[in-house]
Amino acid sequence: MSTPFYVSPQQAMADRAEYARKGIARGRSVVVLQYNDGVIFVAENPSRALHKVSEIYDRIAFAAVGKYNEFETLRIGGVRYADLRGYTYDREDVTARGLANVYAQTLGTIFSSAGEKPYEVELIVAEVGAGPEDDQIYRLPHDGSIVDEHGSVAVGGNADQISSYLGQRHRDGMSLAEALKLAVESLARDTNGGERTLTAEQLEVAVLDRTRPQQRKFKRLLGSQLTRLLDGGEAPASGEESAGES
Protein backbone atom coordinates (compact mmCIF):
# COMPACT_ATOMS: atom_id res chain seq x y z
CA MET A 1 0.00 0.00 0.00
CA SER A 2 1.48 3.35 -1.04
CA THR A 3 1.94 6.16 1.47
CA PRO A 4 -0.50 9.06 0.90
CA PHE A 5 1.17 12.18 -0.49
CA TYR A 6 1.57 14.74 2.30
CA VAL A 7 1.47 18.50 1.88
CA SER A 8 2.04 20.70 4.92
CA PRO A 9 -0.77 23.14 5.80
CA GLN A 10 1.59 26.06 5.17
CA GLN A 11 2.43 24.81 1.68
CA ALA A 12 -1.22 24.09 0.90
CA MET A 13 -2.23 27.66 1.83
CA ALA A 14 0.69 29.10 -0.13
CA ASP A 15 -0.37 27.10 -3.19
CA ARG A 16 -3.97 28.30 -2.85
CA ALA A 17 -2.81 31.92 -2.54
CA GLU A 18 -0.57 31.59 -5.62
CA TYR A 19 -3.44 30.05 -7.60
CA ALA A 20 -5.75 32.94 -6.71
CA ARG A 21 -3.13 35.62 -7.41
CA LYS A 22 -2.40 34.25 -10.86
CA GLY A 23 -6.09 34.24 -11.74
CA ILE A 24 -6.51 37.84 -10.55
CA ALA A 25 -3.40 39.05 -12.41
CA ARG A 26 -4.83 37.81 -15.72
CA GLY A 27 -7.68 40.34 -15.49
CA ARG A 28 -7.51 43.93 -16.66
CA SER A 29 -6.91 46.44 -13.89
CA VAL A 30 -9.35 48.68 -12.01
CA VAL A 31 -8.30 52.00 -10.48
CA VAL A 32 -10.13 53.92 -7.73
CA LEU A 33 -9.17 57.48 -6.79
CA GLN A 34 -10.48 60.19 -4.53
CA TYR A 35 -11.14 63.60 -6.11
CA ASN A 36 -12.50 66.82 -4.66
CA ASP A 37 -16.19 65.89 -5.03
CA GLY A 38 -16.07 62.16 -4.41
CA VAL A 39 -14.57 58.89 -5.62
CA ILE A 40 -14.00 57.82 -9.23
CA PHE A 41 -13.78 54.23 -10.51
CA VAL A 42 -12.00 53.56 -13.82
CA ALA A 43 -11.68 50.09 -15.37
CA GLU A 44 -10.30 48.91 -18.66
CA ASN A 45 -13.41 47.08 -19.82
CA PRO A 46 -14.69 47.17 -23.44
CA SER A 47 -17.82 45.18 -22.51
CA ARG A 48 -21.05 47.13 -22.03
CA ALA A 49 -22.88 44.11 -20.59
CA LEU A 50 -20.44 42.78 -17.98
CA HIS A 51 -19.66 45.48 -15.43
CA LYS A 52 -16.64 45.57 -13.14
CA VAL A 53 -18.02 48.58 -11.26
CA SER A 54 -21.50 48.67 -9.72
CA GLU A 55 -23.65 50.48 -7.21
CA ILE A 56 -24.33 48.68 -3.94
CA TYR A 57 -26.31 51.25 -1.93
CA ASP A 58 -26.89 55.00 -1.60
CA ARG A 59 -23.28 56.08 -1.00
CA ILE A 60 -21.51 52.77 -1.59
CA ALA A 61 -20.05 51.25 -4.76
CA PHE A 62 -18.18 48.07 -5.61
CA ALA A 63 -15.38 47.27 -8.05
CA ALA A 64 -13.77 43.92 -8.77
CA VAL A 65 -11.28 42.05 -10.92
CA GLY A 66 -10.91 38.33 -11.55
CA LYS A 67 -13.49 35.74 -12.50
CA TYR A 68 -16.74 37.47 -13.42
CA ASN A 69 -19.12 34.78 -12.14
CA GLU A 70 -17.40 34.80 -8.73
CA PHE A 71 -17.36 38.54 -8.14
CA GLU A 72 -20.88 38.90 -9.55
CA THR A 73 -22.07 36.40 -6.91
CA LEU A 74 -20.38 38.53 -4.25
CA ARG A 75 -21.88 41.73 -5.65
CA ILE A 76 -25.40 40.32 -5.53
CA GLY A 77 -24.83 39.13 -1.98
CA GLY A 78 -23.66 42.61 -1.01
CA VAL A 79 -26.75 44.25 -2.51
CA ARG A 80 -29.00 41.86 -0.60
CA TYR A 81 -27.12 42.50 2.65
CA ALA A 82 -27.37 46.28 2.18
CA ASP A 83 -31.06 46.23 1.26
CA LEU A 84 -31.97 44.00 4.21
CA ARG A 85 -29.95 46.00 6.73
CA GLY A 86 -31.26 49.32 5.44
CA TYR A 87 -34.86 48.06 5.54
CA THR A 88 -34.56 46.39 8.96
CA TYR A 89 -32.71 49.20 10.72
CA ASP A 90 -31.93 52.49 8.98
CA ARG A 91 -30.32 53.50 5.70
CA GLU A 92 -27.51 55.18 7.64
CA ASP A 93 -26.62 51.79 9.17
CA VAL A 94 -25.45 50.52 5.78
CA THR A 95 -21.74 51.36 5.61
CA ALA A 96 -18.77 50.38 3.49
CA ARG A 97 -17.00 49.16 6.63
CA GLY A 98 -19.85 46.80 7.46
CA LEU A 99 -20.04 45.52 3.89
CA ALA A 100 -16.26 45.02 3.75
CA ASN A 101 -16.45 42.93 6.92
CA VAL A 102 -19.15 40.72 5.37
CA TYR A 103 -17.07 40.23 2.22
CA ALA A 104 -13.97 39.51 4.31
CA GLN A 105 -15.77 36.75 6.21
CA THR A 106 -17.04 35.19 2.98
CA LEU A 107 -13.70 35.32 1.17
CA GLY A 108 -11.78 34.12 4.23
CA THR A 109 -14.08 31.14 4.72
CA ILE A 110 -13.80 30.11 1.07
CA PHE A 111 -10.02 30.58 1.05
CA SER A 112 -9.57 28.43 4.16
CA SER A 113 -11.89 25.66 3.03
CA ALA A 114 -10.23 22.55 1.68
CA GLY A 115 -13.44 21.51 -0.04
CA GLU A 116 -13.47 24.22 -2.72
CA LYS A 117 -11.01 26.32 -4.66
CA PRO A 118 -10.32 29.89 -3.52
CA TYR A 119 -12.12 32.70 -5.32
CA GLU A 120 -9.97 34.34 -8.00
CA VAL A 121 -11.18 37.84 -7.17
CA GLU A 122 -10.02 41.07 -5.59
CA LEU A 123 -12.59 43.62 -4.47
CA ILE A 124 -12.80 47.32 -3.69
CA VAL A 125 -15.64 48.73 -1.60
CA ALA A 126 -15.89 52.53 -1.38
CA GLU A 127 -18.21 54.97 0.37
CA VAL A 128 -18.41 58.69 -0.27
CA GLY A 129 -18.76 60.90 2.79
CA ALA A 130 -19.85 64.46 3.45
CA GLY A 131 -16.27 65.60 2.80
CA PRO A 132 -13.05 64.08 1.44
CA GLU A 133 -11.88 63.23 4.95
CA ASP A 134 -14.99 61.07 5.40
CA ASP A 135 -14.51 58.97 2.25
CA GLN A 136 -13.74 55.28 2.81
CA ILE A 137 -12.00 52.86 0.44
CA TYR A 138 -11.37 49.22 1.35
CA ARG A 139 -9.45 46.67 -0.70
CA LEU A 140 -10.21 42.99 -0.14
CA PRO A 141 -7.74 40.44 -1.54
CA HIS A 142 -8.64 36.81 -2.23
CA ASP A 143 -7.85 35.63 1.33
CA GLY A 144 -10.42 37.85 3.05
CA SER A 145 -8.03 40.38 4.58
CA ILE A 146 -9.08 44.04 4.59
CA VAL A 147 -6.79 46.92 3.58
CA ASP A 148 -7.92 50.46 4.38
CA GLU A 149 -6.76 52.57 1.42
CA HIS A 150 -6.43 56.33 1.06
CA GLY A 151 -6.15 58.50 -2.04
CA SER A 152 -5.81 55.85 -4.71
CA VAL A 153 -5.73 52.07 -5.18
CA ALA A 154 -5.36 49.65 -8.10
CA VAL A 155 -6.23 45.94 -8.35
CA GLY A 156 -5.76 43.30 -11.04
CA GLY A 157 -3.30 43.12 -13.93
CA ASN A 158 -0.05 44.96 -13.15
CA ALA A 159 -1.53 46.55 -10.01
CA ASP A 160 1.83 47.07 -8.28
CA GLN A 161 3.20 49.16 -11.14
CA ILE A 162 -0.04 51.14 -11.45
CA SER A 163 -0.22 51.76 -7.69
CA SER A 164 3.34 53.09 -7.70
CA TYR A 165 2.52 55.42 -10.60
CA LEU A 166 -0.61 56.68 -8.83
CA GLY A 167 1.15 57.10 -5.51
CA GLN A 168 3.67 59.46 -7.08
CA ARG A 169 1.11 61.60 -8.92
CA HIS A 170 -2.19 61.54 -7.03
CA ARG A 171 -2.88 64.54 -4.80
CA ASP A 172 -5.72 65.82 -2.67
CA GLY A 173 -8.23 68.18 -4.24
CA MET A 174 -7.97 66.95 -7.83
CA SER A 175 -10.85 67.79 -10.14
CA LEU A 176 -12.87 65.02 -11.77
CA ALA A 177 -11.14 65.59 -15.13
CA GLU A 178 -7.69 65.52 -13.52
CA ALA A 179 -8.45 62.32 -11.60
CA LEU A 180 -9.85 60.63 -14.70
CA LYS A 181 -6.80 61.64 -16.76
CA LEU A 182 -4.43 60.25 -14.12
CA ALA A 183 -6.41 56.99 -13.87
CA VAL A 184 -6.38 56.46 -17.64
CA GLU A 185 -2.67 57.27 -17.87
CA SER A 186 -1.93 54.69 -15.17
CA LEU A 187 -4.04 52.00 -16.87
CA ALA A 188 -2.42 52.71 -20.23
CA ARG A 189 1.06 51.86 -18.95
CA ASP A 190 2.07 48.30 -19.81
CA THR A 191 4.38 46.02 -17.86
CA ASN A 192 7.41 47.05 -19.96
CA GLY A 193 6.99 50.74 -19.18
CA GLY A 194 5.46 51.62 -22.56
CA GLU A 195 2.18 53.44 -23.04
CA ARG A 196 -1.00 52.62 -24.91
CA THR A 197 -3.92 54.79 -25.91
CA LEU A 198 -7.23 53.97 -24.22
CA THR A 199 -10.42 55.37 -25.74
CA ALA A 200 -13.81 55.97 -24.13
CA GLU A 201 -15.08 52.74 -25.74
CA GLN A 202 -12.45 50.73 -23.84
CA LEU A 203 -13.26 52.21 -20.44
CA GLU A 204 -15.87 51.73 -17.76
CA VAL A 205 -16.10 54.83 -15.59
CA ALA A 206 -18.36 55.67 -12.65
CA VAL A 207 -18.32 58.08 -9.73
CA LEU A 208 -19.68 58.45 -6.24
CA ASP A 209 -20.48 62.18 -6.40
CA ARG A 210 -21.13 63.80 -3.02
CA THR A 211 -22.58 66.93 -4.70
CA ARG A 212 -25.56 65.08 -6.19
CA PRO A 213 -28.76 66.31 -4.48
CA GLN A 214 -30.42 62.88 -4.52
CA GLN A 215 -29.76 60.14 -1.99
CA ARG A 216 -28.05 57.90 -4.54
CA LYS A 217 -24.57 59.23 -5.25
CA PHE A 218 -23.53 56.65 -7.88
CA LYS A 219 -23.42 57.69 -11.53
CA ARG A 220 -21.91 56.14 -14.65
CA LEU A 221 -20.04 58.39 -17.06
CA LEU A 222 -20.81 57.46 -20.65
CA GLY A 223 -20.82 58.77 -24.20
CA SER A 224 -20.21 62.44 -24.84
CA GLN A 225 -19.79 63.25 -21.15
CA LEU A 226 -16.93 60.76 -20.79
CA THR A 227 -15.36 61.87 -24.07
CA ARG A 228 -15.47 65.51 -22.96
CA LEU A 229 -13.75 64.65 -19.67
CA LEU A 230 -11.07 62.63 -21.44
CA ASP A 231 -10.42 65.62 -23.67
CA GLY A 232 -9.79 67.75 -20.59
CA GLY A 233 -13.21 69.36 -20.24
CA GLU A 234 -15.33 69.48 -17.12
CA ALA A 235 -18.40 67.41 -16.36
CA PRO A 236 -21.83 69.07 -16.42
CA ALA A 237 -23.34 70.22 -13.17
CA SER A 238 -24.74 67.49 -10.93
CA GLY A 239 -28.27 68.37 -11.97
CA GLU A 240 -27.47 67.47 -15.58
CA GLU A 241 -27.45 63.69 -15.57
CA SER A 242 -25.93 61.57 -18.28
CA ALA A 243 -27.68 58.70 -19.95
CA GLY A 244 -26.99 55.27 -18.53
CA GLU A 245 -27.00 56.31 -14.89
CA SER A 246 -27.20 53.25 -12.68
Angle between helices 176-187 and 223-230 (to 10 degrees): 80
Residue 33, beta-bridge partner list: 40, 152
pTM score: 0.89
Determine, yes or no, domain membership for 169: yes
Determine, yes or no, domain membership for 76: yes
Determine, yes or no, domain membership for 7: no
Q: What is the mean pLDDT of the chain?
A: 90
Measured between alpha carbons, how far is 52 from 59 in angstroms, rounded to an integer?
17
Rg (CA), the chain: 19
**Cβ-based neighbours of 51, under 8 Å, separated by 6 or more:** 45, 204
Measured between alpha carbons, how far is 196 from 125 in angstroms, rounded to an integer?
28
pLDDT averaged over consecutive 10-residue blocks of the chain (246 residues)? Answer: 69 90 91 97 91 97 96 97 96 96 96 89 97 96 95 93 93 94 89 75 96 96 91 60 44
CATH number of the domain within which 61 lies: 3.60.20.10
Measured between alpha carbons, how far is 156 from 207 in angstroms, rounded to an integer?
19
Determine, yes or no, domain membership for 140: yes
Determine, yes or no, domain membership for 237: no
The residue segments making up the domain with residue 82 are 26-230
- Largest alpha-carbon pair distance within the chain? 75
Determine, yes or no, domain membership for 1: no
Which helix H or strand E contains 23, and what residues bound it? helix 9-25
Model confidence pLDDT, tens digit, residues 14-68 = 989 999 999 999 889 999 999 999 999 999 998 888 999 999 999 999 999 999 9
| Neighbour-count burial for 195-226, b at 16+ CB within 10 Å, e otherwise | eeebebebbbbbbbbbebeeeebbbbbbeebb
Determine, yes or no, domain membership for 226: yes
Q: How many domains does the chain have?
A: 1
